[in-house]
Chain A
Amino acid sequence: MKEYKISLPICENDIDTLQAGDYVYLTGTVYTARDAAHLRMYEAAGRGEDLPFDIKGSVIYYLGPSPAREGQVIGSAGPTTSGRMDKYTPTLLDMGLKAMIGKGRRSPEVIESMKKNGAVYFAAVGGAGALLSKCIKSAEVIAYDDLGTEAIRKLYVEDLPVITVIDREGNNLYDSV
C-alpha cells in the first residue's frame, strides 16, 4: 500500500500512477452530486445542455451532507453508495469526469468506461462523516438548490483521506478481498 498526496484537479500523470489499494490524501476542488443531481445532469446532457460545472477534469464526491451548525463549514460529510449512480456515470465519464469518491461496488459498464476514459474511483470511509467534514474547508451550493441535501455543492477539501479502489486499468481492490 503506497501513500500519496494529490492536488486537484487530478492530472493525467497521477491517474496513471495510482493503483488499486493506494492510500491518497486529496486537496482541491470537488463537486458533490448524488441520485437526484445525477438524474438532472444526465437529462441535461441528453438535451445537449451545459452542466452546472465544468465536468472536464473534475472530481465528483457522492455526498449529501447534513446541515452545518453556526460556525461550521458543513455538517456530516461522508460518502454515499456509489452504485446508485452507475446508470448515469458512463455518460459523465465520456464528458471528461476524471475521478469519483464514494463507497461500494461499481458496475462493469462503469469500470469499462473508466478504462476507456482514464479515470479513477476512490472510496472514503462510509460512516465517518463527522471526521471527514473536518477536511472540508469551504462549501457552496452551485446548482439545484431546491434539492436540499442533494444540491450540487462546490467543496474545497484539504487532505481528504481516500483509498484507490478501482484504478484506470480497471484493477479493483474490492475483488481482491
Chain B
Amino acid sequence: MRELDAKEITDNIKEMCIEANLTLSEDMRDAIDKAERDETSPLGKRVLGQLQENLKVAKEDRIPICQDTGMAVVFIEIGQDVHINGNLEEAINEGVRLGYTEGYLRKSVVRHPLDRVNTGDNTPAIIHYSIVPGEEVKITIAPKGFGSENMSKVCMLKPADGVEGVKKAVIEAVAAAGPNACPPLVVGVGIGGTFEKCALLAKKALTRSFDKRPSDKMIKDLEDELLEKINKSGLGPAGLGGSVTALKVNIETYPTHIAGLPVAINMCCHVNRHVTRSI
C-alpha cells in the first residue's frame, strides 16, 4: 500500500489549474494553426490569426487565454493500492482555491444556482472519482467555460433512430450553438450508457488528445464524418462564416439499455483546456 499525502494532491491541482488556463496542449495549438492555414474566409482567417496571437500573449504575459477561466472539472483516478492521508475532497478544493486565487484566475462559481452569491474562490470543483488498479493517482483538470457549456445537450434517442439519429442530434446541436459557443469548436460526444453516463462520456471525450483515435473503426469514421459535415455548415470561426467550424469531434461510447440510445453533446470552444498528471 502506497501512502500519499493529500497535500501533494493540493499542490499539483493548484499548479494544474494555472497551467491549464495559460497554455493549451500541443494538439490544440496544432489544430488552431492548421485551421488558420485551411480557412477559406478572409474574416475567418483574421479571427483565427487573433486566436494564435492570443495564445502567444497569454503564455508570454501570463494572462489567461480566456477570461472565463471556467468551473474546475477534475477527473481523478485513484489506484486501489494507494492510501491518501487527509481529506481528499478538501485537498482537491484547496488546490482549486489556491490555483484560482494565486494564479489571478477568475472566480466564476456561485454558492447556489438560485441565490447566485459568488463563492469568491472558484470552489467547489466538479469532481469525478474513479478507482483503478495500481498505486498511482492520475489527475486531469479541465476548466470549463460556460459560453460553450450552455450550448450542450443530452438527447434520449430511440434505438430505431440509429446512427443517423446520432448524426442529426450532433449537427443540430452545433447549429443551435452557432456563434454563442465560440467556434471553432471541439465537440465532445457521448453515446450510450444512461442519462448521466452519456453526459460524463461527452465531457471526458473533450479531454482526449486529438492524436488518440478510437480503436472502434465505426466510431473513428463517425468522428471524421461528423467533423466534415459540421465544417460544411459554413458557420466558421466566431460564427462569422467560413470553412472551419470545428477542430475535432471526439466520441466516447458505453454499453446501454435495450430500450435506449442516449446521446450527449458537450460543446467546447477553441479554448479546450485540459492538463493531466500522474503522481
Q: Which residues of A contact B (CB under 8 A)?
A: 1, 21, 23, 36, 63-69, 72, 75-78, 80-81, 83, 103-105, 123, 125-134, 147-150, 161, 163, 165, 173-174, 176-177
Contacts and interface: CB of A to CB of B under 8 A. Distances in A.
B239 interface: yes
Given A103-B147, A104-B179, A129-B54, A80 B68 contact: yes
A64 B106 CA distance: 8
A176 B241 contact: yes
Nearest to B41: A177
Given A63-B67, A149-B108, A173-B240, A127 B61 contact: no
A127 to B, nearest CB: 5
A177 B239 contact: yes
A133 B50 contact: no
Interface of B: 42-43, 46-47, 50-51, 53-55, 57-58, 61-69, 104-108, 116, 118, 120, 147, 150, 178-180, 182, 234-236, 238-242, 269-271
B269 to A, nearest CB: 5
B85 to A, nearest CB: 33
Give the top 3 A-B pairs by smallest Cβ distance, nearest first: A177-B241, A104-B180, A126-B182
15 contacts: A75-B64, A76-B66, A81-B180, A83-B180, A103-B179, A126-B66, A127-B51, A127-B182, A127-B269, A128-B66, A129-B67, A130-B55, A149-B107, A163-B240, A174-B179
Given A103-B147, A128-B51, A148-B107, A76 B65 contact: yes
B238 A126 contact: yes
A134 B61 CA distance: 10
B178 A105 contact: yes
B43 A1 contact: yes
A129 B65 contact: yes
Contact of B240 (A69, A123, A134): A123
Contacts of B182: 103, 126-127
Given A23-B46, A130-B55, 6 more contacts: A21-B43, A66-B64, A69-B104, A76-B66, A129-B64, A130-B63
A77 to B, nearest CB: 6
B57 A134 contact: yes
A141 to B, nearest CB: 15
Contacts of A104: 147, 178-180, 239
A149 B147 CA distance: 16
Given A64-B106, A126-B238, A127-B51, A103 B180 contact: yes
A63 B108 CA distance: 12
Contacts of A129: 54, 63-68
A108 to B, nearest CB: 15
A149 B46 CA distance: 29
A117 B4 CA distance: 63
Nearest to A67: B104
A76 B241 CA distance: 25
Contacts of B67: 63-66, 75-78, 80, 129, 149
Nearest to A103: B179
Nearest to B234: A177
B89 to A, nearest CB: 24
A123 B238 contact: yes
A72 B61 contact: yes
A76 B54 CA distance: 10
Contacts of A148: 107, 118, 120
A41 to B, nearest CB: 16
Contacts of B54: 125, 127-132
Contacts of A69: 62-63, 104
